[in-house]
Each structure stands twice: as structure tokens, then as C-alpha cells.
Structure 1
Amino acid sequence: MALVLIFAYISIVHSLNSPPPTKVAVVTGASRGIGKGISLELSREGYTTYITGQTMSGPLSLEQTASEAAEAGGGPVIPVQCDHNDDSQVASLFSRVLDDCGRLDLLVNNAFSLPSNFEEEGAQSLFNNFWELPNDAWDSVHGVGLRSHYVASKEAVPVMMRTRSLHKTTPKIFMISSFGGVSYTFNVAYGVAKCAVDRLAKDMAVELKPEGIATASLWPGVVMTENMKKTVESGDWDKFVGISLDDAETVSFTGKAVVALANDDDGIMTKTGSVQIVAELAEEYGFTDEGGKQPLSIRSLRFLIPNYAVKEPLPTWVKSLIPNFKLPLAVMANGNPNQ
């Protein structure tokens, strides 16, 4: 009896002194852009993060993302070359996560494919009328960017159910979407795909809520990704869009939003199935972008009036007087007031 009590005491002390088990995440499309920013922020939070993409080495690659995470001293970032058009590769990814870690706490569906003519035509390829675009403009964004999210989520859920059962946590699936899901943005194929991504999160929530798994669709604002920087440098941003970049976000800003939601086991179920705007999550959870910057929500009057209601740039002090009131999404669905 004494030995039993001693072993019980040792077990309790060991459990109290042991660090909590490392949480595990998968981020798709993480060799660059928003996916890279999310991966680095999860690493800083201590997650073991599996990242996918097709470029394994060199500039803007999975290995570069993993190397930057290692230099920062965060949780391990594990690069996995994966074509999200190939269901068997996606299935192998989640089998590996299960074999390696035995759990999966978070899936971020971020992978996105640009149309084939983007490299040649640049931003112009995004702003053509649908009848002027090649058919693969539809196939690209609905393949890797919608169907890929569905397949990855399908493969992730059984591992998440196991995680929920063993660790009593709330696994989460987040989609990276945009305002294009509610308001005309770029072109028809893009908008339909983003609308479907938002609906995917909403409908999956109905089936996953009884399993204790949460979903959400995240809307960043204007994000300074590598492709975005090229668009600005070429002059295409001013030519085709022209709005101010004062409130442009870094890729890490979305990463901080993902971390905030991922850590909110107590409140996430009140948000499951919903659209969450990154800039508004920053206000709710109290995080900022790099340098302490607080980007405005795209549906804020303080953002909309200077960019769409007046022709000349407004001084900063004038902008600060505009209410930070958020328009309902139903109003945003009416689109650009100047069109």
C-alpha cells in the first residue's frame, strides 16, 4: 500500500512539473505571404507547425519559412511538400501528423492558386471581365483555394476528434478568405470562391459543433504580401485599385489573429461558423501589427470615407475625426459606391 501511495505521489508531482503538451498545427500554402506569417506567429507561440506548399527550397520556400522560425527560437516548423490538387498527398500529410504527434489542434486552410496568366499579365489578369479570362481562372481558385480546403478539413477532422477525446481541448479549422466573399473584388471567379469558402466554414460548423471542433473564416484587409509589393512597385495598384495603403497589414497581423483565436478555447464556440475580420479581432483581443500599428477594418467609416467618398487625400488629423463605425456586412455587399 505504501508503494502504491509513493508511486501515486511521484506521478502527481511529475504531472504538475511537466510542461503542457505541445499543440500541433497545419498551415497550408505557407512558403510565402499570409501563410508564412501565420506559421511564424504559431511558432512564436510554441506550436509544432506543419507547413505545406510546392516550393521546397530556395527563395520564398517552405525551407526558408522553417529556417526563419528556427532562427527566432520558436516551436518547430516542419516543411512538407504537398500539391493540394492531389488528394493522396493531402491524406499522407495528415497521416504523418497523426504518426508523428498523435494530435492536431489547428488547421489553417490558406493555400491559394492564382490563374495561369498572372505571371505574364500581372494584376491585369485579376481585373479582366470573366468572359475575357481563361477557363482556368475559375479552376485555379476553386481547386486550390476552395476544394483543397474541403479535402484538407475532411482529412483533419478524424485526427482532431482524437485530439478532443484525449486532451479535452477545442480543435479549430480556420479558412483564410476576404471581403470578396460579400462584395465584388477582382473578378467573378474570385468572388464566388471566397463566398463559398465562407459558406464552407459556416456549414462545417453545423456538423462539427457536436464534436467540439470550431471553424471560422478570417478576412484580412489589404496585406503586403510579396505579390502585393510587386503590384505596388509596378504601378498596377494605383492603376487598378488606387486606395491608400496607410492601413495595409503585414502578413504577421493575420498570424496574430490566428493565435488569438486558437488560444481562446473558452470563447471560440460563440464564433464558430462565422466570418471574423482580422482588424476587428485585433481590437477585441488587444494585439497590434508590427510597430504597434492598428490597421482599420475595411468596413470602418474611417477607412471607407477617405478612400471612396473623397477624391483628395485627407490629413491624418481629419481622418481621426471620422467615427470608427463598422458598416453591416449587408451594406458592404452593395459593393464599391463609385462603381
Structure 2
Amino acid sequence: MSLEISLTDRVAIVTGASAGIGRGIALALAQAGASVVVADVDETPPTGEVVPTVEAIETAGGEAHYVETDVADCDAVEALVAETVASYGGLDVLVNNAGVSHDGTVEETTPETWDRVLGVNLTGVYHGVHHAMPVLKRSPAARVINVASQLALVGRPRKPAYLASKGGVVSLTRQLAVDYADVPVLVNAICPGVVRTELTREALSDPDSSAFLESETLLPYLGDPDDVGAMAAFLASDLGRYITGQCLVVDGGYTAH
């Protein structure tokens, strides 16, 4: 077996890929040779990113396509998969990355907020797999990669909806791996730690919060989206052919103690 990470001639959908971890994953898959469908509610990245993800991939010589998608909308995800198949003829890799967060105790979390966080983070994964699985089953190298969180494995104050949703992603990942191992469709989750993105920018800009997160991470630095992208590219490639039903933690050692 070659030890090169190659995704040449493979097609990938990455949700929430306009910025942050999703962008890092999309760039990594494209660099390995995949054609990448960037699915997000907005093509324009927030402050801090230089150019849209599709443009960045194309500038580097890759192939990419943007589809506006709210993963909490089942019909929108169905349309995303249909457009991917129409554009590229199939699908090999589904990365369910889109996510939202909310701070507050369970008493402070409104039912509307609870529904939105779980709707994107957990039900959005269901929507993706539900519509993509019939197509993935036709691929000889089918992969589902769900982006959970280190917080699916440990507690954190004031994030009940987020932790519940990411814990659900971990359990769903294992269940899907059992159901589809005989196809095979390999299903794994990545649990990132503290990564420098727009989602963590506010917490990392607060000196007390930043000091706490850095002190809880064993390595003397925090992660970047590229760190998660590298793991996703590995799992999507032939090098990951014997890995399924697992939660790969990319957290600088945060959950080790």
C-alpha cells in the first residue's frame, strides 16, 4: 500500500466549509486531489479569511463548487446531494462539519435555541447521511466523516445544547458504522479540541478564557483548521481503509487528563 494521501478522482461534500474547520478540511481534501463541494449558508467567509473557499481551492489548481445549504433543512440537503451528483457523477466522501454553538445554562437556553443547535449539529448530520448514503453505497471508497468535538467526551460549563448535540454525533457515528460496515461505508468522527477559528475567536480574545484553554491543552500551542483537515484527508484516503466507528481526537492532549 502506498503511504501517500491521494484522493484523486474522488468527490467530497464538506458542510460548513466557508470558514474555520470546514474550510481547513475542504482545502486539505482538495490538496489531496478531491473535487470538493463547499456547502454552507454563505459563500463569503467572515472577517479573517482572505478569499472564499472555492476561490482558494481553484487558485491552488483544485476543483470546487459552492452550494448554498442550511443543513437543518432536509430539502436543502437533498438538493445539495442531487447537485453534487449532477455536477460530478457521484459522491465518495461526506464530511458533516456544519455547526453552531450557544453559551448559557439549561435554564437560560430557550427551546428555540436548543432546537437550532441540535437541528444544525445533530439533525444536520442525519440529513446528510440520509440523503447521501444511497449514492455513497455506489462508491468503492465511501467515507462519512462527522465532526464532533472534544466536548462530546468531557464536560464544560454553560453549553448544554452544544455538548448534547456533539455527544449525539459520536453515538450516531458508531451506530452508522455498524449498519454500513458490510457495504462498506466507513464512518468515523473527528473530535477537535480548541482550534483557532471565528467560532473560538471571542473566547480566545478574553485573557482569562484564553489562559484557561491554553492551560488545559497539553501541547504548548492551540490547533489550526489545517490540523483537523489533515486527519480528515487521512480518513478519506486509502490509508484509512481499516478504520471505522472511531472517534479520532485532535485536541493537543486536552482530553488526556
TM-score band, normalised by shorter chain: 0.7 to 0.9
Number of the residue aligned with 1:315? none
Contact 2:19 2:45 survives alignment (8 Å) = no
Cα displacement (A) at 1:21: 6.0
One of 152, 176, 183 as aligned partner of 2:147: 176
Aligned to 1:259: 233
Cα deviations by residue, 1:201-225 (Å, 9 ceiling, x for unpaired): 0001111111110000111121011
Q: Which residue of 2 aligns with 1:107?
A: 94
> Deviation digits for residues 264-290 of structure 1, max 9, x if unmatched?
35x533x211111136xxxxxxxxxxx
Alignment of 1:303-314 (within 5 A): 304=257
Q: Deviations over 1:250-309 (max 9, x none)?
A: 0011000011111135x533x211111136xxxxxxxxxxxxxxxx32234xxx4xxxxx
> Following the alignment from structure 1 to structure 2, what is the Cα–Cα distance between the partners of residues 48 and 252?
18
Give SS of 1:132's match. coil
Q: Is the 8 A contact 1:55 1:62 kept in 2?
A: no
> Which residue matches 1:223?
195
| Identity score, percent | 28
The residue aligned with 1:65 is 53
- The within-5 A match list for 1:1-339 is 22-57=9-44, 59=46, 64-73=52-61, 75-115=62-102, 126=103, 128-163=104-139, 169-186=140-157, 187-235=159-207, 237-238=209-210, 241=213, 243=215, 246-264=220-238, 267-269=240-242, 271-278=243-250, 296-300=252-256, 304=257
Flag the structure with more relative contact order, 1 or 2, with Cα contacts below 8 A and sequence separation at least 6: 2
Q: CA deviation at 1:238?
A: 3.9
How far has the Cα of 1:240 moved from its partner? 7.0
CA distance in 2, matches of 1:148, 1:255: 20
Change in Cα spacing, 1:84 to 1:236, as seen in structure 2 (3 Å) is farther
Hey, what's the Cα distance between the residues in 2 that align with 1:90 and 1:214? 20
SS in 1 for 2:91: coil
Distance 1:228 1:144 in 2: 18
Give the aligned length. 247
Residues of 2 paired with 1:156 and 1:177: CA distance? 19
Structure 2: gaps (5+ residues): 1-6
TM-score (norm 1): 0.67
Change (3 A) 1:227 1:191: closer
1:237 deviates by 2.0
Q: Comparing both structures, which one devotes a greater share of its residues to helix?
A: 1
AA in 1 matched with 2:141: T
Letter in 2 for 1:268: R
Larger radius of gyration: 1
Q: Supply the RMSD in Å over aligned alpha carbons.
A: 2.3
TM-score by length of structure 2 reads 0.87
- Residue aligned with 2:12, SS: strand
Secondary structure of the structure 2 residue equivalent to 1:248:
coil
- SS of 1:108's equivalent? strand
Structure 2 CA distance for partners of 1:161 and 1:242, relative to 1, 3 Å:
closer
Give yes or no for contact 1:66–1:79 (8 Å, CA) kept in 2.
yes
Please say if residues 46 and 198 of structure 2, whose CA atoms lie closer than 8 Å, have aligned partners that are also in contact: no
How many Å separate the matches in 2 of 1:131 and 1:276? 32
